[in-house]
Each structure stands twice: as C-alpha cells, then as structure tokens.
Chains A and B, each alone.
Chain A
Amino acid sequence: MNKALRRKIIITAAAWAVALLIFFPIFWMFLTGFKTEVEAIAIPPSLFFTPTLENYVAVRERADYFKFFWNSIYVSVGSTVLALVIAVPCSYAMAFFVGKRTKDTLVWMLSTKALPAVGVLVPIYLIFRDVGLLDVTFGLMIVYTLVNLPIVVWMLFSFFKEVPREVLEAGRMDGAQPKDELYHLLLPLSLPGIASTSLLAIILSWNEAFWSLNHPGLRLDEPAPAGAWPHLRRREVARRNTVATIKLTNIRKSFGDVDIIKGVSLGIDDREFVVFVGPSGCGKSTLLRLIAGLEEISDGDLFIDGVRSNDVPPAKRGLAMVFQSYALYPHMSVADNMAFSLRLAHVSKEEREKKVQEAARVLQLEPLLHRKPKELSGGQRQRVAIGRAIVRNPKVFLFDEPLSNLDASLRVQMRIELTRLHDELQATMIYVTHDQVEAMTMADKIVVLQTGLIEQVGSPLELYHHPNNLFVAGFIGSPKMNFLRGTVTAPKDGTVSVRLAGGDSMDVPVEPGRVKEGANVTLGVRPEHFRVSDRGLIRGEVLVVERLGGETFLHVKATTGELLTVQAEGDSPVRMHDNVGLQANPTDCHLFDQSGLAIPRTTRHPLAGEVRRGSHSAS
C-alpha cells in the first residue's frame, strides 16, 4: 500500500469517527422515533427493537403540527426575504461608496445585535400589542427580520467586498450606473454569498425560540409587502469623434500625504500609440487611471478633445480600458461580455449582435462567442477583453499592462496583434507597461516615468539615440547601457575629450556648453556599440560568455573594476577568462554630466524623429 493511500485511509477513519460522534444525538432521535412508548424509556436503551410507525401516525393526526410547521417556514423565509430587500442596498452602499462613517455605521449595526432580547422584550411586547401585531404571524416575521438584519447586512457587506474591483471598474468604464452595477454585476457575482446569507438567516429564524415563545402568532392571512424596484434610466451612447486628443496639464495625484503623480504635462495626438513606461511604483498605472476617471485628479487639468474632463464620469469620457487581469465578467459568455456596455446603453439587439460579430471577426473570436471566460486560454481572454473595448468604438483605448499575465511566446504574438489592431482601428491608444521591449516595439511615442515625474517623451529611436539623462539611457535598450567614469580634458567646439579612469582618451562629438575642463563625467556606451579588438579603449577579463547563436553577450570586468556588457557576433571566438580590448565609435557614445543630464550630441540621428506609421498616418 502506498503512503498517500494509507494517509487517506487514516484521515477517512478519523473524519468519519468524528462526524458520526457529532451526528449521534440526531441519529438517536431518529431511532427513538421508531420505538414504542415503552421501548423508548427502556433500561438499558435498546438498540434492537421492532420499528413502529405509531409516533408518526400520532403526529399526522395532530392537525396543529402542520400548522406550526408551515408557520415556521412562512416566518423564517418571509423574514429572510424582507431582510435581504432592506439589506442589499445598504451593504452595497457601504461596500462601494465608502464614507467617513461607514465603519462606524457597520459597528453600530452590529452593536444593536448585542442588545439582548430580554432587555427590550417588554417594550416590544407592549408596542406590538398596541399596534395589533401581537398575535399575527406577520408580527413575528417583522421581529425576525429586525433581529437578523444586522447580521445580513454585515455578511452581504463582506461578500460584496470580495468581488474583484477590476470587474466593477470595467463595468463603470462600460457605462454601468450604480444600479446596473448592483443588478448586473454585483448580485450575480455574489450569488453564492447571498445564498449562504439567506440560509443562515432562515436557520436563525427557524431556530429562534425566544421570540416565538413570548409572541405566539397563528394567523396566516397577512399579505407580504412587494419590493418596488426602480427602473433603469436611459442614457446616451458615447459617440466616436473623428479626432481624439488628450492633453494633461500639470496633473497631480496624492493619496493622503503621499504624492504619486507630481505634476505631469503631456499631449497625446490623434491616433497615436503612446506607451507609459517606467519601473514599478513610478505612477504609470495611476496616470492611466486618472485619464480613465477611475481615480480623481488632485490638481491640474485633463482635456479630452479640448474639453476639460476632470469631473466627467469614466463611462462618459469615450474611453475603453483593458485591464491587467482582463476583469471579464465570469458569469457571462464571451458575446455577453462584449455586448454588456451596449446593453447598458440600450443599443438594440440586432445592433449589438452586429457589433459583437464585427469585433469577433477582427479578433478571431467567432468560434468562442458562446463560451464562458473560464473556458478560455489566457490569450483568448486577453482578446475578449480587447473585444469588449472595441465594441464601444471608443475615442481612446487604455491598456493597463495587458500582456503581463501571458507567457513569453504569447506575449510576442499579442504584441504583433495589438500593433496590427492599432493600424486597423486607427484609434488613439495609451498603453502602460514596465517592459521596455513592449514600449520600443509598439509605441509611436514613449513616455518614460520615474517617481511620479516624466523623465522624457519621444519616439523609440529618439529615446534610444538621444536619452535625456542617465535614467532613460539605462532604462531604454536591452541589455542596459554601460557607464564609464571619466574626466573632461579638452572641451572644444564640436567634440569633448574625455579621459577614462583606465587612462585612455576619447573625443566624443557633443556640444561642450555645460562642461568645463576637469569636470567628472559619465561616458555611456551601449553593448551593441562595443567592438572586441586587440588595442582597445578599455581592457578587461571576460567573466561570462552567453551565446545566443545569432549574437554573443560578453560580460567583461574592466581593469578599472567596472562590469561591462558587450554584444559580439554570434561566431565570436572569445572564451571565458580571455583578456580582451574593447573599442567604440565616438559617434555612438553618450556623455552625461555630473548631475546625470545628457550633454546633447552634435548631430541628431536621422531616424530619431521617425514615427512608425506609414500610409495610414493622419494628415
């Protein structure tokens, strides 16, 4: 017998022993139910006896038994429904529109539960007697409703809190009003929670003895109140404008005392693919959420198509957002997921189907339209999330790290699909990522952020060839740029001579303006711009050789102690522990002053101003 099976058998024995022990009293009651009156009190208790049904016959003949039985059901179910009707809006409001006093309200509600029934029995008895509810079942139902209300509110609150926020935010971007959010998203999603809450409330009422002992009710003719459900309000559909521009002026965002965005100004042109990139915590996602309207802007102005939109609700900004976790509605099919925003906007069924079909065609989702999100692969879910954005025909698409949950090969494929999609839809897109490769490959314009501030804005090649500072230079390009310490020896017009720590000198073609002789500077050389040669600028020992086939990366420890990365040809003969010299073309080198700012190069790279778009590009 293997170990796992033996363990399972031991656990089975233990668990069943415990379960039977706990269940025994109920089993014994069941058994006693089949005994005659004499056998039931026999000493010792008899396990073997002739079963009889006489007790059940006796119960059946007592008409009042069934009356009481139905009373119990009527009161416990009725009071639970009533409590739910009252509690759902309340819990919803507390879970999602958190105010200063939400917590206090919640605690206070619980504390009413701590009010012992015996403490208020007398007044309630007297009130109900005077109102005429004392001897009716409906009166008991009201009592149970109120007794259970705090627990129902509280449990629903906890379950509502569990619903992933991104799904609700996606709903808000789709134009869901609080009511739609409640009926179409929150209630279906927290159905298991509502079911267990109801079950608990029913059981508590069912088990309740105190109030019914002191509050006998037998009448069954009271009507149940009907809940009045509000109607959905009609809304306009956001129209796609022909032009979609976004302008941020000095946007700030702080959470409490912490400033996340410290004054960002940026213009985004029509049909541009803009990528916000930066290390985690740089504020790029917050910036996106400010544009989306999911966070409130603390200071500064946001203009969408020239209209100040700081206070426009998210669904009315004409934007669509694709979330990192996709935030698909787990209880809806692919088609329903995509059509949800249109349904909220009261678009006709035919129109809805047409748009969903259209989006499914673009994204090759047609065979999957009837599946549920959980039946899809990661890439397919990603495409549904994009489809949900497409059907809304938004002015601007917002993407929050949409590829970070996919594996590497799928990420490359989706990168190509997104670029193709941008070309096909001709829409403005804003894309947030921490991956500089995604930024370089997809962007028309990259915005590099660090600690809530923009470090540089420009085309991919501009950032590559003309980084503003050490941070951008190190962040853009893979592998990272190498930095070497040096001193300025001869600042001339058009070139600056730099003596490296190793002793060799190089004339770098940059504008000398800011640097004086003797100033400490940093020389930046990208790995791909180093050449291995015998008489190099720098010498060092090769520590590691990484052969990728097409190219070889050498990790070199320079004589000055700096660790350098060098990209060599695929068939470079260099081996570990070789001593090599490294050479670089001065026009490929970058120079940074002591504060880390780049000293501008004398010649601009011919492709630095290039945008990727070809024939489709906007006039």
Chain B
Amino acid sequence: MPLKLPAVLLLLLWSIVPLAMTLWFSFQRYNLLNPTEHGWVGFENYHFLVTDPGLAKSIGNTLLIVGWVLVITVSLGTLLAVLFDQDFFGRGVARVLMIAPFFVMPTVSALIWKNMLMHPANGVISFLLMSVGLEPIDWFSQAPLASIIVIVAWQWLPFAALILLTAIQALDPERKEAARMDGAGPFSMFFFIIIPHLARAISVVVMIETLFLLAVFAEIFVTTAGGPGLASTNLAFLIYRYALLEYDIGAASAGGVVAIILANVVAAFLVRAIAKNIEA
C-alpha cells in the first residue's frame, strides 16, 4: 500500500478537488468581467446551457469526431500493422515515415493541413482536383467537421498502427506456423489468428484514443475556431468559448459538468469492455 499511496493520493487530489470546485461553480453566478456580482443561482447556469442550441450540436459533434476517428484509425491501423509487419525492402525507413505524423504537434499539423493541403486556392488537394477538371473545395467552410476528422485521424493513425504492429510482432511465430500447417491462407490467418490476437491491443487503442479524442481542441482552435457557426464546435471548444471568450465561469463550469458526465458515460462502456482484458 505505501508504494501505491503517492500515485493514488495525487490522482485523488487532481481529480476530486477540481471536480468538486467545478460542481460548486456551476451553481454560482461568477463572471470574471463582473466579479462583484457573485452568489448562488441554483440551476440557472444549467438552464442557460440546456437552452443554448450549441450544447446538443456540440455533443453530437464530439461523438461524431470520436466515432469516425476510431473507425478510421483502427481499421486502417490494423491493415497498416499487417502490411508493415511483412518483410520488404527498406522496412525500417518506411516504418519511420509511417509513424512520423504522431510526432507532429496538433497545432502544427492543423496548420499544415489548413494552409498547405486543404487551402482552396493554393492547397495541394485543390491543385489535384483542378488538374482532373473538378471544382476545388473550400474544405473548412463546406465540410468543416469532416476536415477536422481527417486531420485528427491522420494524427492518430500512426499511434494505432504502432501499437497494433507491436502486438503482431509479439505473436508467437510457432502459432502462425502451426496455422500454416493447418492450411490457413493469408485471409484465414488474418481473421482467425491475427485479429483475435490483436483483440487486447485494439481495446487498448480504442480506450486511449477515446480519452484523447473526447477533448480534441487544438485542431479546432487552429483551423475553424468552431465554425462556421457551430458546425465544428465540440464540447471542449464550447466550454472554452464560455470560459475564456465570454469569461462566464459559471456557465463554463456547468458545461464542464456536462462534459464530465458525457466522458464518464463513454468511459463506463469502454472500461467495462477493457476491464475484462486486464488480468489484475
């Protein structure tokens, strides 16, 4: 127990104290622009939040980002892991290139995509579309959420592929050989040997990614700033807007409480699924 104490205690402080304070503030009138006006307001902040059309929209956007990025990264990541596990020329270098996006800060990668690739005028994608005779697309105003999903998925794909590749390498070669002796072709190998072996690693990827994807922030901040309108505002960005653009601590706290509830609902499902895989 003494060995666990520091970590447990710190995390307890880190999670419980601010949580309690957030809960407290969410029932207070508290605006940094107007600090004298201070006091208990009951559920007024929540009422403000629920009647704000942005809330439902931003929750929907949050879930869309999490869901789509997970689908893209896990499915492509598995295929990539199998591909890069094969023996081919220049494997080491190709692997490094494949993993590279993970080492790029979200702010920087958002800038690359915004200014160099998806820019309607001088972006590479527009150039390619025009060179085959299509109209260029202004990604961030015509498909803002999809653009953000693409950027985030590009960032997290290497992470998924890397974890899954490590897991594939840990697969006992004797088991694969036995399967080959049993007559398994590439497809049976993939579905009956590799995928079941990866189940645990996939659950790890899903869980870690979900926790981060629920709070995607920098990519939105840099590219669309939540717009146009609320088209690409997720919960994290909504609260950021309340707290730091409108200085309304009370409303921001109420939004924070909603974010916590959402995260816990998602996490409860995940944790139950993952807990089976942790042999404690």
Contact = CB atoms under 8 A, between A and B. Distances in A.
A12 interface: yes
Contacts of B15: 112, 115, 120
B230 interface: no
A206 B102 CA distance: 11
Q: Which of A28, A87, A103, A119 has the most CB of B within 10 A?
A: A119
A122 B25 CA distance: 9
B239 A118 contact: yes
Nearest to A43: B122
A385 B207 CA distance: 41
Interface in A9-34: 9, 11-12, 14-16, 18-20, 22-23, 25-26, 28-29, 32
Size bracket of the B interface: 35 or more
A46 to B, nearest CB: 9
B199 interface: no
Nearest to B86: A11
A53 interface: no
B267 A44 contact: no
B265 to A, nearest CB: 10
B280 A102 contact: yes
Interface stretch (A207-215, A368-376, A579-587): A207-215
B214 A116 contact: yes
A45 B211 contact: no
Contacts of A102: 280
A114 B214 contact: yes
Contact of B22 (A94, A110, A122, A209): A122
A571 to B, nearest CB: 41
B179 interface: no
Q: Is the interface of A mostly helix, strand, loop or mixed?
A: helix
A124 interface: yes
Size bracket of the A interface: 35 or more
Contact of B104 (A26, A106, A109): A26
A123 B94 contact: no
Contacts of B95: 19
Nearest to B244: A214
B237 to A, nearest CB: 8
Contacts of B218: 209-210, 213
Contacts of B275: 103, 107
Q: Which of B4, B100, B106, B240 has the most CB of A within 10 A?
A: B4
Contacts of A203: 102-103
B72 to A, nearest CB: 12
Nearest to B219: A209
24 contacts: A11-B87, A16-B94, A19-B94, A19-B98, A22-B98, A22-B154, A25-B101, A28-B112, A28-B116, A32-B116, A43-B121, A86-B6, A90-B4, A93-B1, A94-B4, A103-B280, A110-B207, A115-B19, A119-B19, A122-B25, A122-B243, A122-B256, A123-B18, A206-B105
Interface of A: 8-9, 11-12, 14-16, 18-20, 22-23, 25-26, 28-29, 32, 40-45, 86-87, 89-90, 92-94, 98, 102-103, 105-107, 109-124, 126-127, 146, 149-151, 153, 161, 203, 206-207, 209-210, 213-214
